Amino acid sequence: MPQQVLAQASSNSSPPASPHPPRLRQAPPRKQEREALPAAMPAADEHEELTRAFAGMGGLGVDETALVTALGRWRRQPERRAQFRRGFPCFFSASAGAAAGIERCEDEYLRHLESEFARFKDAAVLWALHPWERDARWAHHVLHQGHHPAGVLVEVACTRAADDLLGARRAYQALYHRSLEEDVAYRVKDATASLLVGLVTAYRYEGTRVSEELATEEAKALAAAVKAAPAAKLVQNEQVVRILATRSKPQLRATFKVYKELHGKPLEENFAGEPCLQEAVRCLDSPPKYFADVIGRAFRDDADKQAKAALTRVVVSRADSDMEEIKDAYAKQHGAKLADAVAKNTHGHYKDALLAMIGK
């Protein structure tokens, strides 16, 4: 090993190391050798560790500590770095950079790195914000970005307590000088608009009073609506929107229960054709189950940008409320502890932050 290091050191443009072999027990190891010692692992392992640290082998976040170690380990050894780049062909392309004599970094990889490095920052900043401001900013972002605004809006509208949703609406006005419902009504132009506006403007009764009679009546009304039209049309059905957007959550849960008893399958199954509707029912029925499902989807190999960002969103927004219930639901759904899944699928400070928020 030391000879390898010395040979590489001499090919550097930096001043050559002394040619004496190391004399143990008589003099302290030379500077290069001291630095060479941590690189006792084979080069292939080093490369793999660095690739993983750079979010090149799946998982969320980057391993900041491993990156810093590598920086130190390969100090003044650009050839090691060049080897690393050559060994990492999907992200560094020798052919693309051949004309300039470099292993050029792919633009997509740079974008990937940007989002992976930013995960910890996003988590920390979101954690510091007031929950109402957080919700307002998410809602605004999702409304002005296009693609699937429904998901986050339904989540915020249906899983927050009545006063927290109101607080988020107030924060939205303070931040953007418009009401949340104005922007939802104006920007959502598809069939889900009336349901979304209804959900977002709800100020539900929060007490426990439930009428079994009403639950039965409305379960029947929902069943009639389901029978009459496919899910895609149901999202505009007056009865469906009215019930979901105005009834209190305990009342809705009673209605869903009666529905399942009467028809053998849960209501959300009948809404499978319209994700907005299905998510609304899931969020209203059992937020922990819904959140555990969202987290699970973030860890999948085919998770896209939104699915991955959802991990930060869920953990930060629920850390102070129903994280314990989410952990239980996750264990039930996936047969593994949430903390273990996070430790396995995330890296670096991002991982530590999530684990700290999730708790033991």
Partner 1 sequence: MATNTVSQVVPSPAEDAAALLKAFQGWGTDEQAVIAILAHRDAAQRKQIMLKYEQMYSESLTQRLQSELSGDFERAMYHWILDPVERQAVMANAATKCIQEEYPVIVEIACANSSAELIAVKKAYHDLYKCSLEEDVAAGTTGNLRSLLLALVSTYRYDGDDVNMGLAKSEAKIVHEAVRNGTTDHAELIRIVGTRSKAQLNATFSCFKDEHSSSITKALPHGTDPTGYLRALRTAVRCIADADKYFAKVLRNAMRESGTDEDSLTRVVVMHAEKDMKGISGAFRRRSSVTLEQAIAKETSGDYRSFLMALLGS
List the one residue out of 123, 178, 106 whose CA is nearest residue 319.
123
Residue 60: phi and psi, rounded to 5, are -105, 145
Residue 208: phi and psi, rounded to 5, are -95, 0
Spatial distance between the Cα atoms of 199 and 185, rounded to a whole number of angstroms:
12
Nearer to partner 1, 70 or 235 (CB): 235
Nearer to partner 1, 148 or 205 (CB): 205
268 alpha-carbon distance from chain centroid: 24
Nearer to partner 1, 103 or 135 (CB): 135
Nearer to partner 1, 177 or 227 (CB): 177
Provide, rounded to whole angstroms, the least separation between the CB of residue 194 and partner 1.
7
Whose structure tokens read 């290069």?
32
Provide, rounded to whole angstroms, the least separation between the CB of residue 136 and partner 1.
12
Provide, rounded to whole angstroms, the least separation between the CB of residue 289 and partner 1.
25
Nearer to partner 1, 179 or 306 (CB): 179
Nearer to partner 1, 85 or 204 (CB): 204
Provide, rounded to whole angstroms, the least separation between the CB of residue 258 and partner 1.
17
CA 110 to each of CA 116, 146, 226, 280, 309: distance values in angstroms, whole numbers, following the listed order: 10, 23, 47, 36, 17
Spatial distance between the Cα atoms of 240 and 259, rounded to a whole number of angstroms:
13
Bridge partners for 105 per DSSP: 92
Spatial distance between the Cα atoms of 210 and 220, rounded to a whole number of angstroms:
17
Spatial distance between the Cα atoms of 157 and 323, rounded to a whole number of angstroms:
18
Provide, rounded to whole angstroms, the least separation between the CB of residue 157 and partner 1.
12
Provide, rounded to whole angstroms, the least separation between the CB of residue 201 and partner 1.
4
List the one residue out of 179, 122, 105, 92 whose CA is nearest residue 312.
122
Nearer to partner 1, 53 or 171 (CB): 171
Provide, rounded to whole angstroms, the least separation between the CB of residue 200 and partner 1.
9
Provide, rounded to whole angstroms, the least separation between the CB of residue 206 and partner 1.
7
10 Å CB burial of residue 244 (0-12, 13-18, 19+) is: buried
Provide, rounded to whole angstroms, the least separation between the CB of residue 72 and partner 1.
54
Report whether 86 contacts 43 (CB < 8 A).
no
Nearer to partner 1, 83 or 246 (CB): 246
List the one residue out of 270, 260, 282, 258 whose CA is nearest residue 233.
270
Nearer to partner 1, 53 or 245 (CB): 245
Using CB under 8 A as the criterion, which residues of the chain lie in contact with partner 1 when the complex forms?
Answer: 166, 169-170, 173, 177-182, 185-186, 193-194, 197-198, 201-207, 209, 238, 242, 245-248
